[in-house]
Amino acid sequence: MLEGLLHLLYPDVCAGCGRLLEEEEKEVCKSCTRSFDAFSGFGASEAALFEALRRSHPECPPPGSACVLYRFHKSDRLQDILHRMKYGGVFRLGVFFGRRLGEMVADGGRTPGFDAIVPVPLHRLRRIERTYNQSEVIARAAASVLGGEVRTDLVLRRKDTLPQAGLSPVRRKRNVADAFVPSGRPAPRSVLLVDDVLTTGSTAVAVMQALETAGAGHVSLAVVALATA
């Protein structure tokens, strides 16, 4: 908690360990970044995401393509940093992770371009509470690398669901059932859906289904971290 407060008050300190950042470092120092459990590349991360979705949602087709930067483990440094981004007001971390996520998607080269980049919507009450949607910050930073328009008007979050953390896989599915609906605006053909963390994938699957209902023909998925068991 102290490191998160220091980073809010003094943005030139690392959000992970609290030490002063070097001139070329942004938000997180090299030492903390090296401690993250990173995937070896696009292909390995895609396979891991496909497997996580297959285990939890065998009835659903996989996304067109998928990638994830890191695995996070309970109480490791990455989880602490993501918690500060999501709940602690350190929105700049979304820019840090979003640019890296955009670079990984670009390196994968599976899709020549996206017609829209869509962050997982946050309910308006949660947005008031947090002041921003961390997935939108990540999506806009990824878009700065990939190009493409960030669209926040295609899917609505009509229910203020319980936080997914701590819920069983069955309760996660129930929690987001009917929570996301198409806004009524037609979705473009190729969409990249962006989120911060995937555990069972219930939220991502629900938003992908809403996008497909809205007319998206090819929905890909990019997330910062995949939670381990």
With cut-offs at 50, 70 and 90, classify the pLDDT of residue 3: low
**The pLDDT of residue 198:** 95
Q: What pLDDT score was predicted for residue 76?
A: 93
- Position 165 scores a pLDDT of 58
Give the model's pLDDT for residue 111: 57
In this prediction, residue 108 carries a pLDDT of 84
State the amino acid at position 135 in one-letter form: S
Stretch 128-154: mean pLDDT:
94
The SS3 assignment for 209 reads helix
- Sole residue written with tokens 């997982």: 120
Beta bridge partners of 67: 222
> How many Å separate Cα 132 from the centre of its chain?
14
**pLDDT at 5 exceeding the cut of 90:** no
CA distance 75 to 27: 20
Out of 3.40.630.30, 3.40.50.620, 2.40.160.20, 3.40.50.2020, which CATH number does the structure's domain 36-227 have?
A: 3.40.50.2020
Of 9-13, 147-151, 166-170, 214-218, which range is least confident? 166-170
CB 15 within 8 A of CB 3: yes
Give the per-residue pLDDT at 1: 53
Bigger pLDDT: 98 or 11?
98
Prediction pTM value? 0.89
Say whether 9 sits in a helix, a strand or coil. helix
Contact in structure between 156 and 121 (CB atoms under 8 Å): yes
DSSP 8-state symbol, 166: T
Between CA 129 and CA 122 the distance in angstroms is: 11
For position 175, what pLDDT does the model report? 61
- Average pLDDT (71-91) is 92
pLDDT average, residue stretch 181-208: 95
Q: What residues does each domain of the chain span?
A: 1-35, 36-227
Among 205, 200, 195, smallest CA distance to 170 is for 200
> At 65, which amino acid appears?
S
What are the percentages of helix, strand and coil residues in the chain, rounded to 5? 40, 20, 40
Average pLDDT on 50-74 reads 94
The residue to which tokens 């709940």 are assigned: 87
- The DSSP annotation for 67-120 comes to EEEEEE-TT-HHHHHHHHHHHSS-THHHHHHHHHHHHHHHHH--SS--SEEEEP
| Whole-angstrom distance, CA of residue 68 vs CA of residue 107 | 12
pLDDT-above-90 percentage for the chain: 71
